[in-house]
Amino acid sequence: MQRAAALVWRGCCPRTPGPWGRSQSSAAAEASAVLKVRPERSRRERILTLESMNPQVKAVEYAVRGPIVLKAGEIELELQRGIKKPFTEVIRANIGDAQAMGQQPITFLRQVMALCTYPNLLDSPSFPEDAKKRARRILQACGGNSLGSYSASQGVNCIREDVAAYITRRDGGVPADPDNIYLTTGASDGISTILKILVSGGGKSRTGVMIPIPQYPLYSAVISELDAIQVNYYLDEENCWALNVNELRRALQEAKDHCDPKVLCIINPGNPTGQVQSRKCIEDVIHFAWEEKLFLLADEVYQDNVYSPDCKFHSFKKVLYEMGPEYSSNVELASFHSTSKGYMGECGYRGGYMEVINLHPEIKGQLVKLLSVRLCPPVSGQAAMDIVVNPPVPGEESFEQFRREKESVLGNLAKKAKLTEDLFNQVPGIHCNPLQGAMYAFPQIFIPRKAVEAAQAHKMAPDMFYCMKLLEETGICVVPGSGFGQREGTYHFRYLCLSAAWGWSQLGLGKLGASYHRARAGSRD
């Protein structure tokens, strides 16, 4: 091969006699002949294919960023190229990204983050002293006084202390231990981490995870990835998406035939359904978990987003403790919060925490070991979480501005939720339950038989077909209810209430009503 390569090299040179008296063109011909003698290798097959990949990963689905969103991206590119559409922009109502929809960040949070990121600003008179005080405290707890250093796997110690203090205040004095606090990369990281530890067994002893239907698709995605068993319990749509313990019992008993149900997931306030669980409901759920020996996961990332005057957020941790030591000392509970929702809307920082109580001491060590594999959550996200749980207080320089901004954001969200509910209920073929909290509506859509048949002809779920047509005709991008789960024979979509540029909403929903009437006219149902 070396001789052939040398001959090829000489063949690239001008046609002058070589040192052995041959022309270099003949040397090139000889090299070509040598190379042709070697058998031509066929391209080897790929090691990683759809057939050979991890089947659990292939089973994962995440509707919030699924086919509808990909189509929305295509349409945006077409609009940029000047292709005419019945609309001038795509409205992405598919995901709860508040600041992408125009929500302004909280000034104090961004001030502290700026100071932490560029500490030279600590000498600037442009920043308030209470912001500087928090930034210095965070930086002093970081290696090298820098946000760019790793932290402990469980999170920066002083931030975990602030989270524990926040939980104690929120829950009216119920104590929280910083050692039970784990800072996470958003709430999603905490949820998937806890489920990793919980899932075990095989066959009929494989772990079953009870999740609400409709659910946030993170849960079904992680369950698929871990090859656990998804156990559906249905929220009561006729009763404003309430959680009924009798439905939990039904789901549990049916699941025991094919798995070992040992995890119960609750989302409160609800995503995608927007309901807020009553205290009585939470007590019933805790008693059920205690009775059936279930590990409770309480997804409480929307705890600041309660709009109905008849509703109030109750944390599972507080209710658990107030039910007495028989419950508070025995029921294992992991609860989750995040910087992404509430009034903050800081999705990109990926800040979050989980509080895990009544965990076996040996399992606690295993949890820390698992967390250490990813080293630590982003320290910038940890700092953002600290500002959420340690905001300005009365008497501090930034308090009044912080209070005004927080109240303004939450007030606007409440107005948009009510407006969304009212608008949907004006459209023929749509019914929307009262929106008590969170950031979404999950209206039921009544799809005529002809439209269902058209969807089937396109090999689509009827609500996927509906949402695709809505996107193509109005530019409004929503997620079909089939991506969240729904009772057989019903159809829904999830709509982000933040997407409230109401001129286009009324235009789009008006077109929606007209489309419904056209489809209805062509149906014999």
| Per-residue pLDDT tens over the stretch 453-462 | 888 888 888 9
pLDDT band at 292 (very low <50, low <70, confident <90, very high): very high
- Considering the entire predicted model, what is its pTM? 0.84
Phi/psi-derived region of residue 62, left when phi > 0, alpha when psi is between -120 and 50, beta in every other case: beta
Lookup: tokens for 113: 């983050």
d(CA 349, CA 382): 8
pLDDT at residue 501 in the model: 46
Compute the average pLDDT of residues 313-321.
97
pLDDT at residue 184 greater than cutoff 70: yes
pLDDT at residue 322 greater than cutoff 50: yes
DSSP 8-state assignment for residue 232: E
pLDDT at residue 511 in the model: 57
CB 481 within 8 A of CB 465: no
pLDDT band at 521 (very low <50, low <70, confident <90, very high): very low
pLDDT at residue 12 in the model: 44
- Buried-state track 255-274, b at ≥16 Cβ within 10 A, e below 16: beeebbbbbbbbbbbbbbbb
| 22 backbone dihedrals φ, ψ, rounded to 5° | -95, 150
d(CA 277, CA 296): 15
CB 339 within 8 A of CB 469: no
pLDDT band at 271 (very low <50, low <70, confident <90, very high): very high
User: Would you say how long the chain is, in residues?
Assistant: 525
Among 63-72, 108-117, 199-208, 477-486, the minimum mean pLDDT is found in 63-72
Nearest to 92 by CA among 68, 60, 63: 68
| 256 backbone dihedrals φ, ψ, rounded to 5° | -65, -15
pLDDT at residue 102 in the model: 83
pLDDT at residue 337 greater than cutoff 60: yes
Helix (H) or strand (E) holding 435: none
d(CA 469, CA 519): 12
Considering the chain, what is the average pLDDT of its residues? 87
Sign (positive or negative) of CA dihedral 135, 137, 142, 146? positive
pLDDT at residue 136 greater than cutoff 90: yes
Instruction: Give per-residue pLDDT as tens, 144-174.
Output: 999 999 999 899 999 999 999 999 999 999 9
Q: Which residue has the tokens 């066929």?
A: 42
Strands, DSSP E only, in 142-292? Answer: 181-185, 207-213, 229-234, 260-267
pLDDT at residue 4 in the model: 42
Q: Is 286 exposed, middle or buried (0-12, 13-18, 19+ CB in 10 A)?
A: buried
Instruction: Give per-residue pLDDT as tens, 370-403.
Output: 999 989 999 999 999 999 999 999 999 999 999 9
Compute the average pLDDT of residues 477-487.
90
pLDDT at residue 68 in the model: 83
Instruction: Give per-residue pLDDT as tens, 226-245.
Output: 999 999 999 999 999 999 99
pLDDT at residue 379 in the model: 95
pLDDT > 70 in the chain, percent = 86
